[in-house]
């Protein structure tokens, strides 16, 4: 209900709000009962009273209003009809009903109302002269003998202005709510194109609505300062309640502005989040497609393991080149995993599509990395095997050549050193042979294992020829080992014999030297024969001691035989 809609009823001044209060602080509502010569419309009074009740706040209505019914110029029948209409329209909101009657009315009454007890809720019939007992004169308008100035036309204009502002404010609130609802439609998970389009479409509406809200807020502040410059109890209650309603509207606008700002920031954040998610999806798709496309093709094109050291080394270098090409993709893969896993901690909802794409990319990259690592291990094992085989044959050849060069049994001086060197070489080559067999069996086992691609599907790779080559090399190594061991054992036995001959010859030369020394001693000390028994007995004892010394210096009979045999062999050789 607005004043502009019932302007005729309000201009008739059937009822007014003069702005005063009764002694209990309740706002006054003045109803003028027309005279018998003036027309009276019950509907107009009902409409005006309802409008007045609409102006006041619920709290004010609970406290009640003081209704002053001016019936000084009307008949009792008309006054009673007005009283009845006031009771019907206002009900409990009319806390006090004061009926003003002319002085002649009291002269005709048979019952003295002064002695009657007043009941709560009943009208109070008094003349104008006694009105000051219920309402101070400063709160009454001039037509009732008070000093309160009241301009009804100004009051109407104020109501029209306030209601126009209220209507405009409610429209702004509605526009703000519509804008908020439009902005809140774009939540996490929408596409970048949708949010970007929403930003461009709603930007102008957002700026226009904010400017309009700012103007309304400024107009509301000016309106409050104009109507209620001082918020105290002396101000009319209808203005205070209207000011409260305007302030609530302004607070609603402030709240809506805050919600719109929040929704706009949320939409901008959604746009940023959507761009980030879109970028992550593109990165995941790029990494996955590269692994399943070019990377798989490159790895499928490298299935050889080589047949010697040179070919295996070339294949290993080619594989390292491919690993360098995959390193950038691995870096993007790790970066994408870190960014995607960090989204929930950054208050960004992780879409299910991106989660599925992330898991698939992780599975594909890990499967491809496993296959790439397997290929690397195969090439390293192959290269190590061929190097060990080559080293084994080279070292056995060196030993064979050294055996051929040192086949002269006359060189007895170096036999011991040659024997020690040959034993060390034999031990080292035995260890090397075990490594060759171990690496060969390992390579054959690896080549026999099944191969799977990045999707976990089996890949047909034929390594039968490579496995056959490895087994042939192992057989050749075994045959080489048997020949080498036999040759080395024979040569070790020969060197041991030569070493023994050299030792026996040294012992024989030493024995000859000792015999010569004994002979010289015998010539010097044992050629004289004693002259008496005692001297002869002493010489006999010395001679026996000399014989014992000669026996100790002597060597075993088998040494003499071996030296004799060696001497004969050496003589035949010469």
Please state the three-class secondary structure of 400-463 as a single string. Answer: HHHHHHCCCCCCCCCHHHHHHHHHHHHHHHHHHHHHHHHHHHHHHHHHHCCEECCCCCEECCCC
Rounded distance between C-alpha atoms, residue 477 and residue 401, angstroms: 18
pLDDT of residue 574: 40
pLDDT of residue 360: 92
Measure Cα distances from 266 to 185, 273, 334, 340, 396 in Å. 10, 10, 29, 20, 79
- 86 and 67 Cβ atoms separated by less than 8 Å: yes
pLDDT of residue 411: 53
- 271 and 199 Cβ atoms separated by less than 8 Å: yes
Q: Which residues 6+ apart lie within 8 Å of 206 measured at CB? A: 179, 183, 260, 264
The one-digit pLDDT tens for each residue of the chain (574 residues) are 778 888 888 888 888 888 888 888 899 999 988 877 676 778 888 899 998 899 889 999 899 999 999 888 888 888 888 989 988 988 888 888 999 988 655 445 544 444 455 556 688 889 888 888 898 888 888 888 888 888 888 888 888 888 888 888 888 888 888 888 877 776 544 555 555 666 666 677 777 777 888 888 888 888 877 776 655 556 788 888 888 888 888 888 888 888 888 887 887 787 788 788 888 999 999 999 998 888 888 888 888 888 888 988 898 898 888 888 888 888 999 999 999 888 888 888 888 888 899 999 999 999 988 888 888 888 898 899 889 888 888 888 877 777 666 555 455 456 666 667 777 877 888 888 888 888 888 888 888 887 787 787 877 777 888 888 888 888 888 888 888 777 777 776 766 666 666 667 777 777 777 777 777 776 776 666 667 777 777 777 777 776 777 665 454 444 445 445 454 444 444 4
Token reading at 523: 């010539």
Rounded distance between C-alpha atoms, residue 436 and residue 478, angstroms: 10
Token reading at 47: 């409409």
- 419 and 403 Cβ atoms separated by less than 8 Å: no
Closest CA to 89 of 74, 69, 119: 69
Residue 30's beta-bridge partner residues?
Answer: 16, 68
Q: Which residues 6+ apart lie within 8 Å of 68 measured at CB? A: 28, 29, 30, 31, 98, 100, 131, 135, 144
For 42, what's the count of Cα atoms within 13 Å in the CB-facing half-sphere?
12
| pTM beyond 0.85, yes or no | no
Residue 70's beta-bridge partner residues?
Answer: 32, 100
Rounded distance between C-alpha atoms, residue 206 and residue 259, angstroms: 12
* 3-class DSSP assignment, residue 141: strand
| Secondary structure, 3-state, 221-266 | HHHHHHHCCCCCCCCCHHHHHHHHHHHHHHHHHHHHHHHHHHHHHH
Give the torsion through C-alpha atoms of 190, 195, 196, 198, to 10 deg: 150
Token reading at 310: 């040179």
Ordered by where they begin, the domains of the chain are 7-150 (3.40.525.10), 159-282 (1.20.58), 309-494 (1.20.58), 526-573 (no CATH)
């Amino acid at each position: 209900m607005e004043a502009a809609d019932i302007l005729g009823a309000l201009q008739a001044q059937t009822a007014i709000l003069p702005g005063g209060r009764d002694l209990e602080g309740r706002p006054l509502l003045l109803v003028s009962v027309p005279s018998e010569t003036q027309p009276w419309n019950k509907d107009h009074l009902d409409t005006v009273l309802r409008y007045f009740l609409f102006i006041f706040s619920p709290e004010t209505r609970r406290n009640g209003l003081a209704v002053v019914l001016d019936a000084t110029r009307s008949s009792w029948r008309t006054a009673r009809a007005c009283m009845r209409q006031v009771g019907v329209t206002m009900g409990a909101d009319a806390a006090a009903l004061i009926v003003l009657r002319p002085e002649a009315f009291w002269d005709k009454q048979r019952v003295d109302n002064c002695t009657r007890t007043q009941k709560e809720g009943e009208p109070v019939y008094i003349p104008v002269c006694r009105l000051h007992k219920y309402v101070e004169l400063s709160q009454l308008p001039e037509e009732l003998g008070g000093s309160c100035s009241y301009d009804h036309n100004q009051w109407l204009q104020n109501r029209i202005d306030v209601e126009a502002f209220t209507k405009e404010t409610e429209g702004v609130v509605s526009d703000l709510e519509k804008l908020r609802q439009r902005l809140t439609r774009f939540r996490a998970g929408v596409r970048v194109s949708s949010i970007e389009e929403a930003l461009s479409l709603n930007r102008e509406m957002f700026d226009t609505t904010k400017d309009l809200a700012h103007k309304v807020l400024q107009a509301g502040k000016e309106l409050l300062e104009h109507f209620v410059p001082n918020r105290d109890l002396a101000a009319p209650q209808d203005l205070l309640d209207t000011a409260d309603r305007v302030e609530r509207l302004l607070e609603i606008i402030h709240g809506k502005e805050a919600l719109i700002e929040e929704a706009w920031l949320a939409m901008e954040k959604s746009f940023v989040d959507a761009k980030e998610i879109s970028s992550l999806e593109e990165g995941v798709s790029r990494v996955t497609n590269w692994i399943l496309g070019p990377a798989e093709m490159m790895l499928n094109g490298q299935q050889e393991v080589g047949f010697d050291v040179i070919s295996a080394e070339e294949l290993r270098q080619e594989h390292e080149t491919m690993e360098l090409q995959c390193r950038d993709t691995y870096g993007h893969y790790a970066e994408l995993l870190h960014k995607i896993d960090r989204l929930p901690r950054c208050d960004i909802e992780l879409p299910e599509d991106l989660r599925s794409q992330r898991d698939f990319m992780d599975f594909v990259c890990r499967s491809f990395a496993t296959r790439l690592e397997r290929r690397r291990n195969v090439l390293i094992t192959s290269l190590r095997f061929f190097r060990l085989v080559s080293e084994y044959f080279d070292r056995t050849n060196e030993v064979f050549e050294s055996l051929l060069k040192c086949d002269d049994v006359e060189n007895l001086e170096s036999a011991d050193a040659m024997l020690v060197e040959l034993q060390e070489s034999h031990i080292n080559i035995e260890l090397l042979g075990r490594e060759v067999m171990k690496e060969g069996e390992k390579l054959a086992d690896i080549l026999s294992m099944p191969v799977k691609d990045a999707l976990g599907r089996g890949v047909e790779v034929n390594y039968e020829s490579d496995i056959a080559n490895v087994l042939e090399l192992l057989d050749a190594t075994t045959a080489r080992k048997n020949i080498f061991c036999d040759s080395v054992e024979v040569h070790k036995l020969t060197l041991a014999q030569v070493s023994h001959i050299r030792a026996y010859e040294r012992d024989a030369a030493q024995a000859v030297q000792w015999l010569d020394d004994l002979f010289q001693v015998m010539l010097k000390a044992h050629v004289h024969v004693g002259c008496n028994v005692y001297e002869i007995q002493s010489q006999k004892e010395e001679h026996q001691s000399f014989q014992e010394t000669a026996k100790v210096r002597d060597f075993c009979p088998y040494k003499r035989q071996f030296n004799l045999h060696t001497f004969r062999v050496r003589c035949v050789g010469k």
